Amino acid sequence: MPGLTLGDTVPNLELDSTHGKIRIHDFVGHGYAIIFSHPGDFTPVCTTELSAMAGYAKEFEKRGVKLLGISCDDVKSHKEWIKDIEAYKPGNRVTYPIMADPDRQAIRQLNMVDPDEKDSDGGELPSRALHIVGPDKKVKLSILYPACAGRNIDEVVRAVDALQTAAKHAVATPANWRPGERVVIPPGVSDEEARRKFPKGFDTADLPSRKGYLRFTECCG
């Protein structure tokens, strides 16, 4: 199935939401946003996920990241369901909007359709798709999970930290990186440039090829 992928501009759709009409590009504004779908209101994994997203809302806010949910249920259903989500883990308040896409236009354009799930009328349902969108309205990172597997919100936060650190400092983050750990210097930066740019210096891994491409630095204190 064709669909939105890394580097694509998210479609500038306007949809109803629990916070009124939302036009996606206006919502993203000049910051980052996470657009994430859930298969359906009043279903088990989705309740745990939207509660978890609510629990992490402050972490995302600190990073200038707005949250935007979406499913094919209507706004009235979302609003009723939010009572359940907030009762499930008291304290996790759903302060972010959830969009309604009964026509399936948005989930199709956002590459959020789950091919294995249908509603009782045979209509398409969303997967657990999540796109991190940058200030340029482009998809920076996507995770597509099926209905049966809830996401790991810690990893979403880590991914935001990695993307923002890379964008801000023109570095890259190694596998399993956590904030505070050393980052790597991208291949396009010469050693001379790197010495200027990273005053704390850098360590070049001693590898058989002797190409000197794996350079670690503590750039982002």
Tokens coding 68: 């935007």
Nearer to a copy of itself, 20 or 120 (CB): 120
Least distance between a copy of itself and beta carbon 157 (Å): 11
Distance CA 109, CA 12 (A): 10
| Cα–Cα distance measured from residue 153 to residue 159, given in angstroms and rounded to the nearest whole number | 10
Of the candidates 143, 129, 70, which has an alpha carbon nearest to the alpha carbon of residue 103?
A: 70
Q: How far is the CB of 196 from a copy of itself (least distance, A)?
A: 19
CA dist., res. 13 & res. 34, Å (int): 15
Catalytic residue annotation: 46
Please give the DSSP secondary-structure letter assigned to residue 175: T
Single out the residue of 68, 58, 66 nearest to residue 32, CA to CA: 66
Q: Which is nearer to a copy of itself, 20 or 208 (CB)?
A: 208
Phi, psi for 219 (deg, rounded to 5): -75, -30
Cβ distance to a copy of itself smaller for residue 11 or 48: 48
Of 175, 164, 170, nearest to 219 by C-alpha is 170
Q: Provide the minimum distance between the beta carbon of 146 and a copy of itself in the complex, in angstroms, as a whole number.
A: 6
Nearer to a copy of itself, 15 or 52 (CB): 52
